[in-house]
Structure 1
Amino acid sequence: MTKVGIVAAGPVAEIPDLTAYPHIDYWIGVDEGAKHLYDLGIKTDLVMGDFDSLDSNLIEKIKSNARNVIEFPAIKDETDLELAFIEAINEKPEQVLVFGATGGRLDHAWINVQLMKLFSEHHIDAWLINKQNEMSLKLPGTYDMIQDSLFPYVSFLAYSEKVENLSLKGFKYPLNETTIVQGSSLTISNEWSEKKGTYFFTSGILLVIKSRD
């Protein structure tokens, strides 16, 4: 099982303790995210970015901490993080965890959520993670979720215009083949009622968010 961790350039205050993720096999640092990995003493497998916001001396130290480096021009069509997502997909991982991609600028945070669809299209279990939330975009199918004591609340939101035949089992508020639409709060702040919950839907794109207060 290959698990990839991507650390983006979002506010460090939003990033949980990365040393608590020893199961990650392959680390990608993106711009200032690479600096955060360097500061933590985590050996980075790939460093990516245009590095336009970092001191040149620091850039060399960060690069020396990495097994591989990909540097781009500052002016390009894709964001650094989108290019990092593509590199992660090329590793053919089973799971990708993305840190430092929320908080700060809302335009960056929102496009980062949208970019998660890249992983869904390749059948990769991927999550955006900060200190209070974990979120994922899912395409139609059946999924299991193990009860997570760190994140007691779980919401199922329509990312597409509608999500059809959503069923929830093992949760405090179950559903049976229900269509949910954008803008509805029906499926927000659910909780586990069993150690494993299962959700299923037949069409649309579902945004799943685990959270805590």
Structure 2
Amino acid sequence: MSLHVGIVAAGPIDEIPDLSNYPKVNYWIGVDEGAKVLYEAGIQTDLVMGDFDSIDPSLIETLQQSAQSVKVFPTVKDETDLELAFLEAIHLKPDQVLIFGATGGRLDHAWMNVQLLNMFADQNINAWLVNGQNEITLKKPGKYELEKDLSFPYISFLPFSEKVENLTLQGFRYPLDQHTIVQGSSLTISNEWSEKKGTYFFTSGIILVIKSRD
């Protein structure tokens, strides 16, 4: 059976979509206050982890007892709780990872979480940061397919590295053929699918793919 991991972080609750809309997720990780979000949504949590410094102490025991497994970390550590959760997810060798509650609130944490997608890209794991308006992934050179997503009509391909070389886009309204894109250019923002499935390919650099809606 395919393994689809959902990670819920401690981001603002209004940034987290209705988790019941993701029935393919069959392994849930609650990170710090994200464990409370899963508990209140009535979703069985497979792993609760974090330093729990942002949770009311009276709730911690309840959250830990509701989970299949618990990992507690010290408040003072080199990694964020979410980075540790990413390492846990990678260890599971999943087919897909969806990360919720990781893009709102503090910009330093949000930007770091985008950078941490590198961990999944290095392992060729399909991982996305998800909020109410966007789904974001990071990819290393290669060929990838994306099925048309009616809930997210726009798709952007942005260079995460200084440049991305030989970017080819097929099956999109605005195609490209072996084009080099550089940081600061808006050429590849707000594209759309023209077919049921789109393909993108590039030979060097790191690309940020963002599906979005108004």
**2:15 matched to 1:14?**
yes
User: What is the TM-score when the length of structure 2 is the normalising length?
Assistant: 0.99
Alignment-derived partner of residue 50 in structure 1: 51
**2:53 matched to 1:30?**
no
Alignment-derived partner of residue 73 in structure 2: 72
Q: Secondary structure at the match of 2:40?
A: helix
The 2-side partners of 1:154 and 1:69 are apart by: 37
Instruction: Using the TM superposition, give the Cα deviation of residue 56 of structure 1 relative to its aligned residue in structure 2, in angstroms.
Output: 1.6
Q: Secondary structure at the match of 1:183?
A: coil
Alignment-derived partner of residue 154 in structure 2: 153
The 1-side partners of 2:7 and 2:199 are apart by: 27
The 2-side partners of 1:126 and 1:183 are apart by: 25
User: Superposition pairs for residues 191-206 of structure 1, below 5 Å?
Assistant: 191-206=192-207
- Deviating beyond 2 angstroms after TM superposition, the runs of 4 or more aligned structure 1 residues are none
Instruction: Using the TM superposition, give the Cα deviation of residue 133 of structure 1 relative to its aligned residue in structure 2, in angstroms.
Output: 0.1
Alignment-derived partner of residue 175 in structure 1: 176
Instruction: Using the TM superposition, give the Cα deviation of residue 159 of structure 1 relative to its aligned residue in structure 2, in angstroms.
Output: 0.1
Seq. identity, %: 70
Report the residue type matching 1:103 in the other structure: G
The 2-side partners of 1:177 and 1:110 are apart by: 29
The 1-side partners of 2:163 and 2:148 are apart by: 26
Q: Which runs of 5+ in 1 are unaligned?
A: none
Instruction: Using the TM superposition, give the Cα deviation of residue 20 of structure 1 relative to its aligned residue in structure 2, in angstroms.
Output: 1.1
Across the two proteins, how many residue pairs are aligned to each other? 213
The 1-side partners of 2:210 and 2:197 are apart by: 16
Alignment-derived partner of residue 63 in structure 2: 62
The 2-side partners of 1:5 and 1:196 are apart by: 24
The 2-side partners of 1:124 and 1:163 are apart by: 20
Q: Secondary structure at the match of 1:190?
A: coil
Deviations 1:84-129 (A, max 9, x none): 0000000000110000001100000000000000000011000000
Instruction: Using the TM superposition, give the Cα deviation of residue 53 of structure 1 relative to its aligned residue in structure 2, in angstroms.
Output: 1.4
The 1-side partners of 2:137 and 2:196 are apart by: 20
Q: Secondary structure at the match of 1:150?
A: coil
Alignment-derived partner of residue 207 in structure 1: 208
Deviations 1:25-54 (A, max 9, x none): 110000010000000110100001100111
